[in-house]
Amino acid sequence: MNIQNIYCVGRNYHLHAEELGNELPTSPLVFTKPTHALTAMKQTNISIPYDQGEVHYELELVLRIGEGYKSGMTAEEAVDAITLGLDLTLRDVQEKLKAKGLPWLPSKGFKQSAGLGEWLPFPGTEEINLARFELKRNGQSAQIGYPKDMIFQLDELVTFIDTHYGLGTGDIIFTGTPAGVAQLHSGDELQAYWNEQMLGACKIM
Ligand code: ZN
């Protein structure tokens, strides 16, 4: 399935909002990335910019909207596949943009800033709420997330995005990152685990 719109949710985990000193949102904070940001995490080399300050990793649960989507569907009806994704972020650039009230595109939309693991069939919201995901960097645990901790859950995200921006088959939603974000360095090897299953791996160039 061709990926259409790439929606991303910011500040959807309490501890991550806190670690960056952000207030908790009262409705989903949604931004987008260009499709040119997409890259597969299949033992791939990912090139990041080094001339604009720190680049941070953010590992996130990603939802895909399936065939036959109709406005008003629940997440259970709408989502046909999930994976883990890397929302790479130029953090220093983002801080400057936030301070000036400017759009986040320069910090979130660079090429290869949206890495995607292997898609799994949607296991249902119940199973997602029992799941755990983890980012390992150079063999060490860097981030651990539990989808049940999301401030806005799957149904709320699907409904909110559909209502305000539109949602369709092939759209994907990065659902936000848990705490533990940090700067990437050249040579870092990243692995993304859904429970015990590795869905993606890449090396930072
Ligand atoms: Zn993110």
- In the chain, % of residues over pLDDT 90: 94
- Please say if the pLDDT value at position 22 is more than 90: no
Tell me the CA–centroid distance for residue 121 and ligand 1, in Å: 22
pTM, to two decimals: 0.97
Look at the block and give the residue holding tokens 């369709």.
Answer: 168
Tell me the CA–centroid distance for residue 150 and ligand 1, in Å: 12
Tell me the CA–centroid distance for residue 137 and ligand 1, in Å: 17
Residues around the ion ligand 1 (C-beta < 5 A): 58, 87, 177
- In angstroms and rounded to an integer, the radius of gyration of the C-alpha atoms of the chain is 16
Cα separation values, 115 from 4, 8, 75, 151, 156, Å:
15, 13, 22, 23, 24
Tell me the CA–centroid distance for residue 58 and ligand 1, in Å: 5
- Please say if the pLDDT value at position 70 is more than 90: yes
Q: What is the pLDDT of residue 92?
A: 97
- Indicate the pLDDT class of residue 88, thresholds 50, 70 and 90: very high
pLDDT digits over 102-152, tens only? 999 999 999 999 999 999 999 999 999 999 999 999 999 999 999 999 999
Tell me the CA–centroid distance for residue 72 and ligand 1, in Å: 25
CA distance 203 to 138: 10
- Indicate the pLDDT class of residue 160, thresholds 50, 70 and 90: very high
CA distance 7 to 56: 18
- Please say if the pLDDT value at position 20 is more than 90: no
Tell me the CA–centroid distance for residue 160 and ligand 1, in Å: 17
Tell me the CA–centroid distance for residue 197 and ligand 1, in Å: 21
CA distance 67 to 78: 8
Tell me the CA–centroid distance for residue 88 and ligand 1, in Å: 7
Q: What angle do CA 157, 158, 164 make, to 5 degrees?
A: 85
Tell me the CA–centroid distance for residue 89 and ligand 1, in Å: 8
Q: What is the pLDDT of residue 1?
A: 87
Q: What is the pLDDT of residue 183?
A: 97
